[in-house]
Amino acid sequence: MRYTEFGNTGYRVSSLGFGAMNLPGVPLDQARDALNYALDQGINYIDTASAYRNSEEIIGSSISHRRKEYFLATKTNKRDYAAAKEEIEGSLRKMKTDHVDLLQLHYVNFVHEFKQMMGEGGAYEAALEAQREGKVRFIGITGHRPELLSRWVSKGQFDQVLFHLSLVQPFAAKELVPELIRQNMGRVVMKPLSGGFVQPVDKAIRYPFSQDVHVTISGMISVEQVKENIAAQAAEVSEAERLELEGLAEELGTHNCRRCNYCSCPIDIKIPDVMIASKVREKFGLLPKGMDFFSKQQEKLASCADYEPCKETPLCEQKCPYHLPMQRVMQESARILA
Ligand code: SF4
Ligand code: SF4
């Protein structure tokens, strides 16, 4: 396991972080075993969020007795002071601890949301207050728009950023990471498998490991998955491998979708997932979860071509800040799957 100084925090963190988002979907014994095994193996970064169903309770009941062994990161997606304050208190209670090491303002993708959180009466005030009271050590932010995050952190109000950096979403490497390095901020990446779609799994885990980041959060639900993730990071990345992974990321990232969710589809096509999966599906095929997703979307994708209100101008494309050809990709996917 590689350990690095975590930006300006003074902590040393493991390169692999335990993502606890999916723990609520498995039996409690299995979740407890996975968390404890991860700690036994030296993983010392645990990531969760108030929004992840009862993930915080599972952490509280499974590993709060080992609290000194891990850096604990949670998130609030509340936008105003009062709601965020209440949520922070709830997180502490659920995780049976008197402090979290990191509180992140969660899933901030819109300028108006950021302004609300940072303005008077916003969630950031609650985070600062909790920090003064010793309930929160550091404050971070998470989001899906690397170029906006880069601007938002430039005033030095945050210690860390959690962002996408995967074989299928490599954009932050150029749009965000340089600014985070300039400020020596904590750099944590999420979803190396893009929510369970992407293969080959070892390459997907090794791509962020090859980049200048501190922690890759991988969602894990079993001892076997912890072993698989640790094995994928066992060997250091050579220069040749790094170049190969970056080439692959460039190829698989040509869809250019940041998963910002500005778009929506009236017939409920999950546009970002289809966009992001399109290239990897062509090249490697998808993991079973990805195939299952496409079989459930098949009928809707087939309807895209006949959807009258989008005939002249696709409704989704009017909302995409990156001007992506979503209608064409949806219809190509429908043809491939037919
Ligand atoms: S073009 Fe297709 S994907 Fe886009 S909004 Fe219309 S129906 Fe949905
Ligand atoms: S298609 Fe465009 S608007 Fe939709 S999630 Fe991707 S980048 Fe955002």
Domain for residue 20, yes or no?
yes
C-alpha closest to that of 24 among 51, 45, 46, 43: 51
Specify if 81 maps to a domain: yes
Bridge-based pairing of strands 215-219 and 16-19 is parallel
pLDDT of residue 127 exceeding 80, the answer is yes
Please state the rounded mean pLDDT for residues 12-18: 98
Which residue's CA is minimally distant from atom 8 of ligand 1? 265
Q: Which of 231, 246, 261 is the last residue of a domain?
A: 246
* Top mutation candidate among 262, 310, 311 for ligand 1, by most atoms within 8 Å of CB: 310
Answer yes or no: is pLDDT of 218 > 80: yes
Q: Can you tell me which atom of ligand 2 is nearest the CA of 326?
A: 1
Interval between CA 297 and ligand 1 midpoint (Å): 13
Instruction: Mark whether 152 and 57 lie in a shared domain.
Output: yes
Q: How far is the CA of 271 from the centre of ligand 1 (A)?
A: 8
Supply the residue whose CA is at minimum distance from atom 2 of ligand 2.
320
308 and 194 in one domain? no
Taking residues 237-260, what's their average pLDDT? 96
Mutation pick for ligand 2 pocket among 324, 327, 328, 329 (CB with most ligand atoms within 8 Å): 324
Whether residue 196 sits in one domain with residue 51: yes
Ligand 1 is surrounded, with C-beta below 6 A, by 265-267, 269, 271, 304, 307, 310, 314-316, 326-327, 330
Residue 166 placed within a domain:
yes
The tokens of 48 are what? 């969760």
**pLDDT above 80: residue 123:** yes
Cα 112 to middle of ligand 2, angstroms: 18
Question: Residue 42 has what pLDDT?
Answer: 98
Please give, one letter per residue, the 3-state secondary structure of 257-297: CCCCCCCCCCCCCCHHHHHHHHHHHHHCCCCHHHHHHHHHH
Ligand number nearest CA of 311 is 1
Q: Determine the pLDDT at residue 291.
A: 86
Shortest-distance ligand to the CA of residue 258: 2
Q: Are residues 26 and 118 in the same domain?
A: yes
| Per-residue model confidence as pLDDT tens digits over 294-305 | 889 999 999 999
pLDDT of 223 reads 98
Same domain? 241 vs 294? no
Co-location of 286 and 191 in the same domain: no
My answer on whether 101 and 161 are in the same domain is yes
HEC letters along 303-318: HHCCCHHHCCCCCCHH
Q: Give the nearest ligand 1 atom to 263 CA.
A: 5
Q: Buried (b) or exposed (e) across 186-206, using 16+ Cβ within 10 A?
A: bbbbbbbbbbbbbbebebbbb
288 in a structural domain:
yes
pLDDT confidence of residue 255:
95
The answer as to whether 265 is a domain residue is no
Give the distance (Å) from ligand 1 centre to CA of residue 270: 10
Q: Which one of the ligands is nearest to 168 CA? A: 2
261 in a structural domain? no
Please give the tally of structural domains in the chain: 2
Asked if residue 330 and residue 242 are part of one domain, the reply reads: no
If asked whether residues 206 and 298 sit together in one domain, one would say: no
Share of the chain above pLDDT 90, in %: 89
Residue 268, Cβ density class (10 Å: 0-12 exposed, 13-18 middle, ≥19 buried): exposed
Q: Is residue 253 part of a domain?
A: no
Q: Which ligand 2 atom sits closest to the C-alpha of 319?
A: 3
In this prediction, residue 316 carries a pLDDT of 97
Q: Which of 256, 259, 333 to mutate to test the pocket of ligand 2 (most atoms within 8 A of CB)?
A: 259
Instruction: Kindly report the protein residue whose alpha carbon is nearest to atom 7 of ligand 1.
Output: 304
In the chain, what percentage of residues exceed pLDDT 70? 100
Residue type, 245: L
d(CA 216, CA 253): 19
Domain containing 192 — which CATH number? 3.20.20.100
Cβ(100)–Cβ(67) below 8 Å: no
281 shares its domain with 176: no
Kindly state whether residues 221 and 275 are assigned to the same domain.
no
Whether residues 233 and 288 fall in one domain: no
Ligand 2 pocket at CB < 6 A: 257-263, 271-272, 275, 319-320, 322, 324, 326
The residue type at 144: H
Comparing CA positions, the residue from 25, 24, 10, 126 lying closest to residue 71 is 10
Indicate which ligand has the atom closest to the C-alpha of 278. Answer: 2
Residue 260 lies in a domain: no
Q: Residue 268 has what pLDDT?
A: 96
pLDDT digits (tens, 9 = 90+) for 256-276: 999 999 999 999 999 999 999
Domain range for 327 is: 271-337
Asked whether the beta carbons of 214 and 17 are under 8 A apart, the reply is no
Say which residues have a Cβ less than 8 Å from residue 325's Cβ, sequence separation at least 6.
317
